[in-house]
Chains A and B, each alone.
Chain A
Amino acid sequence: GAVVSQHPSWVICKSGTSVKIECRSLDFQATTMFWYRQFPKQSLMLMATSNEGSKATYEQGVEKDKFLINHASLTLSTLTVTSAHPEDSSFYICSARDGTGGPTNEKLFFGSGTQLSVL
């Protein structure tokens, strides 16, 4: 159990286009989801925290108009990179916190990541 599915696993796009990344909790309800960005050989950099049905809370320095986050249900969150530019190229990872009260309650599970390359 406690599987987080993230799609796509990689995407290549042209500069100026928008890209949407999906994150789904498959077997638990994720009351909170997080989006991270990771540069090569570095730790996870939190971009934003989203609670189901609420607006996302963005970390300092993260442009909310550029990185649109939607958490419309307890099992789905999306990150849309709008008007992507080469400097947005990175590895994006979502995570979901189990709020079901079961054996994996309050634990944080990660998706498999999305490698975005903007040409």
Chain B
Amino acid sequence: GENVEQHPSTLSVQEGDSAVIKCTYSDSASNYFPWYKQELGKGPQLIIDIRSNVGEKKDQRIAVTLNKTAKHFSLHITETQPEDSAVYFCAASYGNQFYFGTGTSLTVIP
């Protein structure tokens, strides 16, 4: 089955700096890679996603890159703000199968 690894597990950045979270996957059949943001006591919220036929996607301050050959994808958050503090999960998917990373707790220091 698919195995998704996510790093780092915790990340602290100064407000205004960039944050990068990286994930790797093992199954080349995975073709859809969403990222979720989860605030304390709430369900995960889809923030950006990318399909395997695209190498990069950007939405305002967040971007995702995908390297299919190396089987890794990354989330980039620029100009971080305190409200970006949360736990972020990556996932790799094929059909109805979704495999989640172990999460990254991001803290943005004002």
Contacts and interface: CB of A to CB of B under 8 A. Distances in A.
A112 to B, nearest CB: 5
A43 B100 contact: yes
Contact of B49 (A41, A107, A113): A107
Contacts, number: 45
Contact of A112 (B43, B49, B93, B100): B43
Contacts of A95: 43
Contact of A97 (B89, B96, B105): B96
A44 B96 contact: no
Contacts of A97: 96
Q: How large is the interface on B (under 10, 10 to 19, 20 to 34, 35 or more residues)?
A: 20 to 34
B34 to A, nearest CB: 7
Contact of A108 (B34, B101, B102, B105): B34
User: Number of contact residues on A: which range applies?
Assistant: 20 to 34
A6 B42 CA distance: 11
Nearest to B103: A43
B46 A44 contact: no
Interface of B, helix, strand, loop or mixed by DSSP: strand
Contacts of A43: 89, 100-103
A46 B43 CA distance: 14
A6 B46 contact: no
Interface string A29-63: 00010100000011110100100000000000000
B36 interface: yes
Contacts of B101: 43
Given A106-B32, A108-B93, 11 more contacts: A2-B46, A42-B102, A43-B89, A43-B102, A44-B100, A97-B96, A108-B34, A110-B43, A112-B43, A113-B41, A113-B42
11 contacts: A2-B46, A42-B103, A43-B89, A43-B101, A43-B103, A106-B32, A107-B46, A107-B49, A108-B93, A110-B45, A113-B43
